[in-house]
Structure 1
Amino acid sequence: MSEEPTGGRTRQLPVFHCPYCGDEELTPYGESADGWRCGACLRAFTVRLLATGVQE
């Protein structure tokens, strides 16, 4: 995820599968940039990048 000057985040890559049912019918959800909603099971969830694995 990339940081904006205001400290907000922007979506970088979409999520491809629902972690609950495995369906691919996902849409962005809510005010947060990391919120998703599954159209198949109607669950909403967030996906966040915790670490990039890059060392300075």
Structure 2
Amino acid sequence: MRLAIQYCPYCGEQDLHPQESPEGAWRCADCRSTFVVTGVVA
């Protein structure tokens, strides 16, 4: 199960889209950065 993140860690915008590869990757449409979220937040 993938949880949606709320903000880009690079620019702070909210226009984020999940990517198929690599696992856990997200792409920011505003700054065009791709980043991977790992780990579990309790």
**TM-score under structure 2 normalisation?**
0.80
1:36 and 2:36 matched: no
Q: Secondary structure at the match of 1:24?
A: coil
Show the 5 A alignment for 1:11-30: 11=2, 13-30=3-20
Instruction: Say if 1:24 and 1:34 are closer, same or farther in 2 by CA, change over 3 A.
Output: same
Unaligned runs of 5+ in 1: 1-9
Q: CA RMSD in A?
A: 1.8
Q: Which runs of 5+ in 2 are unaligned?
A: none
Answer with 1 or 2: which has the greater Rg. 1
Identical residues among aligned pairs (%) = 36
Cα distance, 1:29 vs. partner? 1.4
